[in-house]
Structure 1
Amino acid sequence: MLREFPLRDEAWGPGSPRTPRLARELFDQTGWNSILPLSDSRAYSGLCYALALVTSAPFAPGWRTRVLPVLFAVVVISFHAEDQKVRRYAT
């Protein structure tokens, strides 16, 4: 994620093919959900990306294992759902 940080807007932000309208269509069909399409702003997508970095860094060595796994799961599922949305409509 650190390596991809300069490209985060094209991959996950406003410059990406992931639009809130497309997310709603896919999530209605699949039942997936994500925190990423809640806003189209660049600041919000940057905040989500930063949240992914912040939760994964202490989660890896096992710090605060009661709280961080829940936050980590929400972030990972959100990014995974967005990725699945684009893959499904790209084919």
Structure 2
Amino acid sequence: MEEQACALAEAGDFVLAAKLFRMAITVGPGKASLHEQLAQCLLEAGDAEAAREAVTCATELAPEWGEAYLTLARTQIELGQHQHALRSFDRS
């Protein structure tokens, strides 16, 4: 399921990819990479608020994972939360 979601995201079908990432998360909710990839898809699909929620889960599951903080910063920029984004960039 994760591989299919990645392939769909690479093909630009972010909505369907997000759906598959959500399904994969129900199977493996503790896998930070699934939450981060979901966040990227949601961000590309135009849902920055949901993306922030997803990537926040990733940062909680893997607090030392810099890439998750970069995705968090991207969502915060999209939401106009520039000071938070700067802190997230620093953390990454």
TM over 0.5: no
Q: Which has the higher contact order (CA 8 A, sep 6+)?
A: 1
**Which of these two proteins has the greater Rg computed from alpha carbons?**
1
Q: Normalising by structure 1, what TM-score?
A: 0.32
Q: Normalising by structure 2, what TM-score?
A: 0.32
